[in-house]
Structure 1
Amino acid sequence: MSLPDQRPRRELYWMSRMPHTDVTALAAQEPVGDITWVPSSYRRPVKRFIEAGALAWVNGLEEQPPASYDWVTTLELCSLVTGQASRWRRGSRVRQAVVTWENLSHQPLYRIPPYKQALDSARDADLFLCMIDAARNHMIDNGFPDHRIRVVKPGVDTRVFTPAAEPTDDPVVVFCSPLAPNKGIDRVLDAMRLVRKRVPEAELVVAGNGPLRGLVERAAADPGTGVRLAGQLDAHGVADLLANAAVFCTAPRPTWKWTEQFGLAYIEAQACGIPVVTTRCGTNDEAVQPPNVLVEDDPEALAAALVTQLTDRDLRLRIGAANRERMIAEHDLATQCARMGEAFADIEAQDRP
């Protein structure tokens, strides 16, 4: 069961890549992958964005016969569709899985009805599939049984996200993320103004959309800023942009109910063989490991790290090569999707006589 704001090529797509698995998705938009799509609308008490669409119920679940399925899977413990799934499968043989990235042990949404009701309804799920190590810690802190928790880190398609045949010599920085305050495009713009005092030819290419798009458009309208807005790109467009950049940069900072959990853009950039410079936030150190650079939430610290990378080609190439090697070893998409399948199969095996 999808959420109304669920992004493509993520959880649904990964499950569709699990070996020997057929996925039927109740979703608002047609999902990417070999998936049977049931077009579904949503009931939403409010229209504004709330925690990845968690405050929404999907229509049409009651029309799906439980006898046709082995599992029902939803995203996040506090989403209302998780509570729906728990009620729908009750009394049937259908197992329930909940996929979670949550890394806040004291997530404030858990104290607010109806999020708390969804959380409590998830307690009898069969599998809790954590996409980061911190999610397992958060679940144990909230009283969930460890024997039903499995951690499988997300994968990246290393055939799509691959280094350029010839690394660029141009000082191009890429920001590829939602244009929202929590992802820090404003910090990156401030840092780039400082970078250009040291590296006048440095450029910033911004891919994405969001509430701060106007801020980027105004910067891009001034030729003296070196800022270019690439807009919303598909996976292949993002891969091409990253492969032809020198450095990837974001600057996330926490909100009252969120802190950076992992960041798929980080592993996409590393798979393309470029270094990452970002702010230390939440548990993004699970994705951004040395020799990549995590700094404090400060434009000057960001700028200093970017200048180091942009002016030392040999350093960039060494970091980029190490990044590519680690992505293949630890985050190859096919391998990680198979491991997801193993997590489901492991729970099934526990129930066999």
Structure 2
Amino acid sequence: MTRRMLWVSLPDQRPRRELYWMSRMPDTAVTALARDEPVGDITWVPSTYRRPIKRFIEAGALAWVRGLDQQDPTSYDWVTSLELCSLVTGQASKWRRTTSGRRPLQAVVTWENLPNQPIYKVPPYKQALESCRDADLLLCMVDAARDHLLDNGFDDDRIQVVKPGVDTEIFTPAAEPTSDPVVAFISPLAPNKGIDRVLEAMQIVQRTIPEASLVVAGRGPLRDQVEAAAADPTRRVRLAGSLDAHGVAELLRGAAVFTTAPRPTWKWTEQLGLAYLEAQACGLPIVTTRCGTNDEAVEAPNDLVEDDAEALAAALVAWLEHPARRAEAGRVNRARMVADHDLVTQVGRMGEAFATVERAHGR
């Protein structure tokens, strides 16, 4: 029997993430209200948003989707959205109550790891949070999200944790690891992801390894800094722009080490970091700053360092100078991704989380 799911997208929903994973769950047919056509076997309902301002991004977007009221709740088994405080989650909670017939179950996917998330205190985000306290499934992408939910008074019986997966058939190691000292940064070019700190650290690295280079993929408000560095041939920086999954995998296979340097903001701290999983699946060691709960993705022998350019540079040099150490770490990282984060396995586990709730409700 096929599970019928309505996904209500955020206006800035990123591709090949939560919605894509839902579409990959066994026996699941997904219809998505979304601004952009989603990746995957998904029925797309092109949607617009009422968005007075663009102050916040992703879950904090001040945005309500148009057209949800035109969907028939009795046509779906589930309505699903991302994050408890997102305004579309509040819409989904209200929408499923409009039917006098068979009400769809509600799931909320969450990464949130801040117990005292300040946005929860701000209307209308607070109302969205409160509206989904009776959601049937709270699907956590990190262990810390479960702790966060319990700290905020949610029922443990409704919570399940399934870590995200990575396509280990796309993200594979190079046949022959590069011998060139290439460092890869793949992440939004924003202050909270630390491209500015990485650029600073690379200049320190080059005092010891002059031929070391940095390749950057992503877009964001600090792009100008990367472009300025790339325009200076002595900096050895290349800007690759935005890449699809296959492009990211190819870039990673040409690198020796993966790095980012996240730092917390007033309402965000690193939760897991899918780029870490992709890099490890490609057999790269990781050097990154310790931030939030990224230790759930970055384990030994990889490096979690303080938010300091010198510390970041020292860890990068240690990997770049020792190819055999890199190769061994790459084997360890690849094996762990296949064992714990393979996409097919993880979406199967997500499907079982939904099925457990369905059985409990006699569906």
Same fold per TM (> 0.5)? yes
What SS does the corresponding residue of 2:180 show, helix, strand or coil? coil
1:49 and 1:187 mapped to 2: Cα distance? 23
Does structure 1 retain, via aligned residues, the 8 Å contact 2:30–2:42? yes
Shift of residue 54 of structure 1? Answer: 3.2
How far apart, in 1, do the equivalents of 2:244 and 2:24 lie? 19
Inter-partner Cα distance in structure 1 for 2:173 and 2:331: 9
Alignment of 1:169-208 (within 5 A): 169-208=179-218
Give the CA deviation at 1:45: 1.7
Q: Does 1:325 align with 2:335?
A: yes
TM-score under structure 1 normalisation? 0.99
Q: 2:89 aligns with which of 82, 89, 93?
A: 82
What is the SS of the residue equivalent to 2:287? strand
Asked if the contact 2:215/2:240 (under 8 Å) is kept, the reply is yes
The correspondence of residues 5-44 of structure 1 with structure 2, limited to 5 A, is 5-44=12-51
Report if aligned partners of 1:3, 1:53 keep a CA contact under 8 Å in 2: no
**Alignment partner, residue 61 of structure 1:** 68
Residue 49 (structure 1) shift:
3.6
Show the 5 A alignment for 1:151-162: 151-162=161-172
Q: Residue 44 of structure 1 contacts residue 55 of structure 1 at CA under 8 Å; is this kept in 2?
A: yes
- The two structures, once aligned, show a CA RMSD in angstroms of 0.9
In the TM superposition, residue 40 of structure 1 has moved relative to its aligned partner by 0.4
Which moves more between the two structures, 218-227 or 39-48? 39-48
Instruction: Structure 1: state its 5+ residue gaps.
Output: none
- Note if 1:343 corresponds to 2:350: no
Opposite residue 75 of structure 1, the aligned amino acid is L
Match of 1:47 in 2: 54
Q: Secondary structure at the match of 2:345?
A: helix
Question: Which whole-Å CA distance do the structure 1 matches of 2:21 and 2:142 have between them?
Answer: 15
Q: Which consecutive residues of structure 2, in runs of 5 or more, have no partner in the other structure?
A: 1-7
Of stretches 259-268 and 87-96 in structure 1, the one that deviates more from structure 2 is: 87-96
Identity rate of aligned residues, in percent?
Answer: 74
Provide the rounded CA distance (Å) in 1 between the counterparts of 2:54 and 2:114: 25
2:106 is paired with a residue whose SS is strand
Q: Answer yes or no: is 1:311 the counterpart of 2:311.
A: no
- Name the CA distance, whole Å, in 1 between partners of 2:349 and 2:230: 43
What's 2:268 paired with?
Answer: 258
1:47 Cα deviation from its structure 2 partner:
2.6
Aligned pair count reads 353
Deviations 1:270-304 (A, max 9, x none): 00001000000000000001100000000000000
Secondary structure, aligned partner of 1:150: strand
**2:61 & 2:233 partners in 1: Cα distance?**
41
Cα deviation 1:222-274 (Å, max 9, x = unaligned):
00001111111111000000011000000000000000000000000000001
Q: After TM superposition, what 4+ stretches of structure 1 lie above 3 angstroms from structure 2? A: 48-54
Report the TM-score, using the length of structure 2 for normalisation: 0.96
Q: Contact 1:217–1:229 at 8 Å: present in 2 too? A: yes
